[in-house]
C-alpha cells in the first residue's frame, strides 16, 4: 500500500474542516449529521473519522483553528480587531452561530466543556497579555482590574457573535466597536489603539 504524504494528509484535513465549517453553519451542531458531513466534504465517514475521532473532535478542531487565528490577531492588534474581522468576514465565523448549542453543551457536558475551555484559553491568554501591555504603556484605563476589562470585552464578543449568528450584523456595529474601544482607553491618553 503506498504511503500517503504529509501534504496530502494536511490537505485532506483542511478539506474536512472547511466542509465541516459550512455544515455546522448551515445546520447547527445537532443538524450536522455524519451523512451531511459526508455530503458537504465529499468524503466518506471513514475518511472523515480517520482524521477526527468523532463529531465533537471535529467541532473542537474548528474551535482550535479559530482560537489560534483569533489569538494571533488579539496578541498584536487587540480583541476589538478580532471583532472587526468578524464584521468584515462573517463567513469565516458563521459556524459560531451554533453558540446556543455550544452553551447548552458547556452547561451539561463536562468532557465537552474541558475541550472547549482548552481551545479558548489561547485567545484569552493572548488578549490578557495584550491588555497588560497596553495598560503598562498607559493606553488603557487603570481604574479597573485587567480581568474586568477582559470580561467586558469577552461579553461584547459573545454579543457580537450572537448578532452575526442571528443575521443582524448591521453597519452600525463598527461604530459600536469604536465606542467599546474608546471605553477601555485611558481618557487622558490618545497614544495608540486600545483593546
Q: Which three cell numbers stand for residue 172?
A: 452600525
Q: Convert the pLDDT of each residue in 118-161 to its tens digit.
A: 778 888 899 999 999 999 999 999 999 999 999 999 999 888 88
**46 pairs with which residues across the strands?**
none
Q: Which domains does the chain possess?
A: 1-52 (1.10.10.60), 54-195 (1.10.357.10)
Q: Which residues of the chain have pLDDT under 70?
A: 1-4, 97, 100, 169-171, 188-195
Rounded-to-integer distance, Cα 95 and Cα 74, Å: 20
Q: Match 474536512 to its residue by C-alpha cell.
A: 16
Longest CA–CA span in the chain (Å) reads: 68
**Measured between alpha carbons, how far is residue 118 from residues 50, 63, 183 in Å?**
22, 10, 29
This prediction has a pTM of: 0.76
Percent of the chain that is helix, strand, coil (3-state, to 5): 75, 0, 20
Amino acid at each position: 500500500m503506498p504511503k500517503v504524504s504529509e501534504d496530502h494528509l494536511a490537505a485532506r484535513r483542511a478539506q474536512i474542516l472547511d466542509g465541516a465549517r459550512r455544515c455546522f453553519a448551515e445546520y447547527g451542531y445537532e443538524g450536522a449529521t455524519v451523512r451531511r458531513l459526508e455530503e458537504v466534504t465529499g468524503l466518506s465517514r471513514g475518511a472523515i473519522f480517520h482524521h477526527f475521532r468523532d463529531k465533537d473532535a471535529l467541532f473542537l478542531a474548528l474551535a482550535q483553528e479559530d482560537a489560534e487565528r483569533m489569538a494571533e490577531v488579539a496578541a498584536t492588534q487587540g480583541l476589538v480587531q478580532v471583532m472587526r474581522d468578524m464584521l468584515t468576514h462573517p463567513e469565516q465565523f458563521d459556524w459560531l452561530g451554533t453558540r446556543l448549542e455550544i452553551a447548552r453543551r458547556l452547561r451539561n457536558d463536562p468532557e465537552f466543556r474541558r475541550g472547549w475551555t482548552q481551545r479558548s484559553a489561547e485567545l484569552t491568554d493572548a488578549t490578557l497579555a495584550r491588555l497588560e501591555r497596553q495598560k503598562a504603556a498607559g493606553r488603557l484605563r487603570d481604574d479597573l482590574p485587567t480581568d474586568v476589562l477582559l470580561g467586558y470585552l469577552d461579553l461584547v464578543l459573545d454579543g457580537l457573535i450572537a448578532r452575526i449568528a442571528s443575521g443582524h450584523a448591521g453597519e452600525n456595529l463598527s461604530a459600536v466597536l469604536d465606542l467599546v474601544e474608546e471605553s477601555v482607553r485611558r481618557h487622558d491618553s490618545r497614544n495608540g489603539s486600545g483593546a
